[in-house]
Amino acid sequence: MRRVEISKGKLLIIGFGPGNFEHITKRAREAIQESDVIVGYKTYVDLIQDLLTDQEIVRTGMTEEVSRAQEAVRLAELGKKVAVISSGDAGVYGMAGLVYEVLIEQGWRPEGGVEVEVIPGISAINSCASLLGAPVMHDACTISLSDHLTPWETIVKRIEAAAQADFVIALYNPRSGRRTRQIVETQKILLKYRSPDTPVGLVKSAYRDRQHVVLTTLDQMLEHDIGMLTTVIIGNMSTFFYEGLMITPRGYQRKYTLDQAVQELKPHQRLQVEAEPWSLNAIEQNAENQAKESSTKLVHPAELAQEALGLLKAKGMVETSVMTDLPTRPPVSIFEVAVSPGVANKKITPDQLALIADMAGEKGEIEYTPHHQFILRVPTDEPKQIVDRLTEAGLLLSSIGDVVQLKACDFCHGDKGEAIPTAEEIHRRLDGLHVPKELKIGFNGCAMACYGAVTEEIGIVHRRGTYDLFLGGKKMGRNAHVAQRVAEGMTADEVIEAVEKVVQIYAEQAHPNERFNKFFKRVKEVAGFQYQEEKKPVIPELACGD
Ligand code: SAH
């Protein structure tokens, strides 16, 4: 290898953005102007023609990238300031890597060798996305379909991986005169993993004279013109069209439940830590004060998207040519709700069952749980309709997640129904209340307690007009145990108040995710009810041969 001699030359590797003056950075302009020589593909040199003064120009063809890089290095070593220009960003399928490769081949080192400055530019993924709306937004990747320098097999692997992992994908170099099959193969691979309805944006010559923007779908994209100057942006599973814009929401499909469906957030409440319970800040803050929160509300993602779109539209920021038969915007959220025939009623009518199926539709899901209820999960942004129809049909809806749920027995089909009003009152006061961890209150109408109230975290057993209260049961796991009987012979009012107080203290004082039985064991006393230490299991001495 030849050692490079010390020289005052400099390589300025410049990304000049999509192609118009407004989107060239200040440093890129300065760098072009301070250079002695411009090395670049003809079309690119023409694009920046108006910025040039008396620079020497080395124009080369599109495919002569390697010789262009070699020439640039040679001139810099002669002591010249050489601008190597790329469209977009020089480090994205541009000249930056090639120039470094040529330098490294020659044994170049940063200290002592020619100076190199890489000047960033706006890459096609960003300029094209801005014309489509906000299709990138979430995790995205770029894939070049050019198999001149990369084996097609490798490209296929990358398309497969990106499609599987639900990345938004920006396809560069999608098609040229000779390379026409790559985009067809790419579409086939993508269709294995993504819906044919997936929104796709085609942007040709972004911010240049012949700019053309098309919104289409994965199955129809090949019906449009795709060429060397096009970037193809494939949406992820949440991307949607709205009024001629292609939008990928910031979050993925979120689950929300009954309380968020009935009380949505006001604008000033959004983006507060409490509205983002999944964030790191929220987790930390929760540790300090979750107990003080009686409810945690989620921002409805569609609201955020709509607000952003409203602003975009108001500013008239986006002009696009839009197809008219585009798919409507898919729901971005999954509504989850527990459905049962009633607090005490365990009989569901065929009509009610049919309605639940109807509400689930083709894309929804119905799960029957060990807690005598159906969990209905429906992709929708308009849960109110569902809530209204199920409620009208006499079904009882409950929130799910870290909330209180009352699990009553069927009161022997109502024969022992004396305690039903008490159960209903507890349901009215506490069901759906947010707590540090899901909390079931078992309520059984007679001393048989056949619905297992005494194994729940809180159990209430009605017995000849009075109530016994049980706390701290654990239904599952290898150390499952029944609850401790902490009070007997309470009146209806006493038991309602006691349970309300116990739940309130648990909600205020438990650690995040701490189940009630652990909380009771830790604090030893809740609302005056004492925890009794369990007896440790002992290993009996077994006679030999037993
Ligand atoms: N360095 C460039 C990419 C060069 S590869 C960048 O960062 O943007 C060439 C590919 O880039 C083209 O085939 C096209 O897919 C994309 N591209 C570059 N400029 C574009 C523009 N103005 N509009 C749309 N696509 C563009």
Give me the DSSP letters along 139-188.
SEEEEE---SSS-HHHHHHHHHHHHHTT-EEEEES---SS--HHHHHHHH
Strands 484-490 and 466-471: antiparallel
Nearest CA to ligand 1 atom 18: 124
Q: Are 339 and 356 in contact (CB under 8 A)?
A: yes
Ligand 1 in reach of 20 Cβ (< 6 A): no
- Among left, alpha and beta (phi > 0; psi -120 to 50; other), residue 527 is left
CA of 147 to the centre of ligand 1 (A): 16
Q: Above 60 in pLDDT, residue 60? A: yes
The rounded distance, in Å, linking the Cα atoms of 434 and 518 is: 18
Q: How many CB atoms lie within 10 A of CB 361?
A: 11
- The preferred substitution site among 13, 20, 65, 93 for testing ligand 1, maximizing ligand atoms within 8 Å of CB, is 93
Which ligand 1 atom sits nearest the alpha carbon of residue 94?
1
The rounded distance, in Å, linking the Cα atoms of 377 and 365 is: 5
The rounded distance, in Å, linking the Cα atoms of 343 and 417 is: 12
Q: Above 90 in pLDDT, residue 198? A: yes
Query: 125-247 with 333-525: one CATH topology?
Result: no
Q: Look at 136-150, 280-294, 445-459 and tell me which has the smallest mean pLDDT.
A: 280-294
Q: Above 60 in pLDDT, residue 153? A: yes
Instruction: Report the percent of the chain where pLDDT is more than 70.
Output: 84
Q: How many CB atoms lie within 10 A of CB 513?
A: 13
- Among left, alpha and beta (phi > 0; psi -120 to 50; other), residue 166 is left
Ligand 1 in reach of 142 Cβ (< 6 A): no
- CA distance to 57, 58, 78, 111, 115, per residue, from 74 (Å): 14, 12, 6, 18, 13
- The preferred substitution site among 229, 233, 234 for testing ligand 1, maximizing ligand atoms within 8 Å of CB, is 229
- List all residues 6 or more positions away from 218 whose beta carbon is below 8 Å from its beta carbon: 187, 190, 191, 194, 195, 196, 197, 198, 199, 200, 234
Ligand 1 in reach of 205 Cβ (< 6 A): yes
- The preferred substitution site among 62, 205, 231 for testing ligand 1, maximizing ligand atoms within 8 Å of CB, is 231
pLDDT of residue 278: 63
Domain ranges of the chain: 10-122, 125-247, 333-525
The rounded distance, in Å, linking the Cα atoms of 484 and 535 is: 13
Give the mean model confidence (pLDDT) for residues 29-34.
Answer: 95
Ligand 1 in reach of 19 Cβ (< 6 A): yes
**Domain 10-122, architecture per CATH:** 3-Layer(aba) Sandwich (3.40)
Q: Are 430 and 441 in contact (CB under 8 A)?
A: yes
pLDDT of residue 301: 52
pLDDT tens digits, residue range 68-109?
A: 999 999 999 999 999 999 999 999 999 999 999 999 999 999
The rounded distance, in Å, linking the Cα atoms of 169 and 198 is: 12
pLDDT of residue 400: 87
Ligand 1 in reach of 286 Cβ (< 6 A): no
pLDDT tens digits, residue range 94-149?
A: 999 999 999 999 999 998 899 999 999 999 999 999 999 999 998 999 999 999 88
pLDDT of residue 401: 87
Give kind and range of the element (H or E) at residue 526: strand 525-526
| pLDDT tier at 436, thresholds 50, 70, 90 | very high
CA of 222 to the centre of ligand 1 (A): 19
Average pLDDT, the chain: 87
pLDDT of residue 371: 87
Phi, psi of 541 (to 5 degrees): -75, 120
pLDDT of residue 362: 87
CA of 49 to the centre of ligand 1 (A): 19
- CATH number of this structure's domain 333-525: 3.30.413.10
**Domain 125-247, architecture per CATH:** 2-Layer Sandwich (3.30)
Spell out where 3-61 has E strands: 10-15, 37-41, 56-60
pLDDT tens digits, residue range 305-359?
A: 556 555 655 555 444 444 445 555 555 678 899 999 999 999 999 999 999 999 9
CA of 231 to the centre of ligand 1 (A): 6
Instruction: Report the percent of the chain where pLDDT is more than 90.
Output: 66
Write down the pTM of the prediction: 0.60
Ligand 1 in reach of 128 Cβ (< 6 A): yes
Q: Above 50 in pLDDT, residue 290? A: no
User: Which of 93, 332, 134, 94 minimizes the C-alpha distance to 233?
Assistant: 134
Nearest CA to ligand 1 atom 6: 88
pLDDT tens digits, residue range 369-392?
A: 988 899 999 988 788 889 999 999
Give just the sign of the alpha carbon dihedral 91, 88, 31, 62.
positive
* Count helices and strands in the chain by DSSP H and E runs: 15, 26
CA of 87 to the centre of ligand 1 (A): 7
